[in-house]
Structure 1
């Protein structure tokens, strides 16, 4: 009978050959190895958190996929909100709506009268400006914000957003068109002006209506 030691050595030589060793090699790529390690780590974490509970591979894997999906969605939401904030800040340019202390000392009614005067001359951009300043002063009178000559529309928007997001959104739309008309030199057509005026007067309530009636 052949020596058992030689037979064992011969068998080992056969098993060491490439066609046999290939079955024992890890053929996973980097991502597969990384994903399997993450799943193993997560299953261990679940076992530690839920004492006495041994999560099945399928349960742990499904829960891990859901959590990763939630994290990705939250990250995308954060990016979207961040980009939206940047775009809005660019839309509200770094200009002060009040050009002098004298304009701040005007009453809401006086700005509305000036807006109507400019409307009659068909200078709708300037009429838009005074409509907006009337709204801004009205917000100041209601103590929804604090108006100052040095403040920009972005400062006012940020101040309003801390207190009332709905009011801040309405202000943003009025301020955006104001900036486009006054600083962007974008012509305002008659129809657009009347739409703007309607939105402004919704916030002015009786103050705005009274100013127009007294003119």
Structure 2
């Protein structure tokens, strides 16, 4: 029992020592120091933009804190979209849309038929894939590009640009949606699929006219 009391007394002594107290205080106030510096920096910027505005009186109030929180949220939002955009571009440049010889051996009409079957089953991600490949093979049939298993959507886009810039831009837009549907980043909803289908069928309907 005496050993327990001695250990407790020793622990209390350590906690009350200046070095430990200073370390604890430093850890607990680091955010406050950063926040205060951020307030001063923002106040300086506001002073430069609006000289008539007296920002020094705002430092002790919640206004600058709100501004800082909003700024941080905006920064996080921008960072999210930048990372997302880079990820989309990387997939667009690196991932071939055709994954097997069977897909390229089918005609684009066969892919359209399969897309309709998947649509009836409400498997919109699969239907999206077949429709996109149908469009790709349609462009191949028109000799606007040359479909190959190893080619990426970026390479197809570059080929289309040489023939039809408007179609190339539309293809790029559809390819981004295809990438999100195929690689699991986006669960395709019926409304999204219907819009995608309309845009693809604008091209494919030309072949039936």
- Do both proteins adopt the same fold according to a TM-score greater than 0.5, normalized to the shorter chain? yes
Give the TM-score category using the shorter length.
0.5 to 0.7
Give the equivalent residue in structure 1 for 2:188: 188
Structure 1, residues 80-99: CA drift from partner, whole Å, max 9, x if none?
xxx9xx95733615111111
Q: TM-score, normalised by structure 2?
A: 0.56
When Rg is computed on C-alpha atoms for both structures, the one with the higher figure is 1
Partners of 1:157 and 1:89 lie apart in 2 by 12
Superposition misfits of 4+ residues, deviation over 4 angstroms: none
Shift of 1:115: 0.4
8 Å contact 2:119–2:127 — kept in the other structure? yes
RMSD, matched Cα:
2.1
1:111-130 to 2 correspondence within 5 Å? 111-130=111-130
8 Å contact 1:93–1:179 — kept in the other structure? no
Partners of 1:158 and 1:184 lie apart in 2 by 25
8 Å contact 1:104–1:137 — kept in the other structure? yes
Q: TM-score, normalised by structure 1?
A: 0.54
Shift of 1:185: 3.6
Partners of 1:90 and 1:179 lie apart in 2 by 11
Secondary structure of the structure 2 residue equivalent to 1:155: helix
Range 110-119 or range 90-99, more displaced? 90-99
Query: Higher RCO, 1 or 2 (CA under 8 Å, sep at least 6)?
Result: 1
1:56-205 to 2 correspondence within 5 Å? 89-90=89-90, 92-205=92-205
Instruction: Say how many residue pairs are matched.
Output: 125
Partners of 1:199 and 1:126 lie apart in 2 by 17
Shift of 1:123: 0.7
Gaps of 5+ in 1: 1-82, 211-215
Partners of 1:107 and 1:186 lie apart in 2 by 27
